[in-house]
Amino acid sequence: MALVNYALREITCKIVYYGTGLGGKTTNLKYIFNQLSPSTRGELVSLNTETERTLFFDFLPLDLGSVAGFKTRFSLYTVPGQVEYNSSRKLILNGVDGIVFVADSDSMKARENVESLQNMIQNLAEYSLTLDNTPWVLQYNKRDLANAMELERLERELNTKSIPSFEAIASEGLGVFATLKAVSKLILNRLQ
């Protein structure tokens, strides 16, 4: 749920990057952070453990225009990829305004992608949210892999709602901003 600060005339929206472990969620956020001017971004916070590169979240506010005279700010978060951190994944979804589901195109990750999407649906339900009432987009990352799944297979297995989807190579920045722009537009349209 977007937070409205009337004193600052600012609306803050929360975008969560969700997906499998090592699928590219953190790579997306780091690329975005590094491309933005320091004057338009906040501090990037990363919590790491021995078994997971991002245990809790990366945080990044972005200024992206206004809604009804209010400046909009987007906070970007990632969830830990491993299901054993499900309580953290669930907690990070609290108050979400939009989701980028990052699917790993590696053919060996097909089952993990589907399981992670199902896990996201279950965790959203804890907050009485569904994929029908939450703005979200799909990003098919690692499209440069030799064993990348065909786009048709990814669409068939993950995009049953026919939502916007994007091919990406997050490590090179390809598709990263297109994905962010799409989910941001969906959120702003909903706020209007």
The domain limits of the chain are 3-191
pLDDT at 102: 98
Pairing of the two strands 136-141 and 165-167: parallel
Residue 56 confidence (pLDDT) = 44
Q: Distance (Å, rounded) from C-alpha 21 to C-alpha 16? A: 15
What is the predicted pLDDT for the residue at 58?
47
- The model carries a pTM of 0.92
Both tokens of residue 123?
């965790």
Residues 76 and 66: their CA atoms lie apart, in Å, by 18
Please give the Cα distance from 176 to 123 (Å, whole number). 25
* Residue-level pLDDT at 62: 65
Residue 49: per-residue pLDDT:
64
Query: Fold for domain 3-191?
Result: Rossmann fold (3.40.50)
Write down the pLDDT at residue 69.
82
**Helix, strand or coil, per DSSP, at residue 98:** strand
User: How many of the other CB atoms lie within 10 Å of CB of 118?
Assistant: 10
Question: Directed axis angle between helix 86-93 and helix 110-125, to 10°?
Answer: 60
pLDDT along the chain (192 residues), means of 10: 87 93 93 85 74 51 72 88 82 95 98 97 97 97 98 98 98 97 94 84
Q: What are the beta bridge partners of residue 70?
A: 67
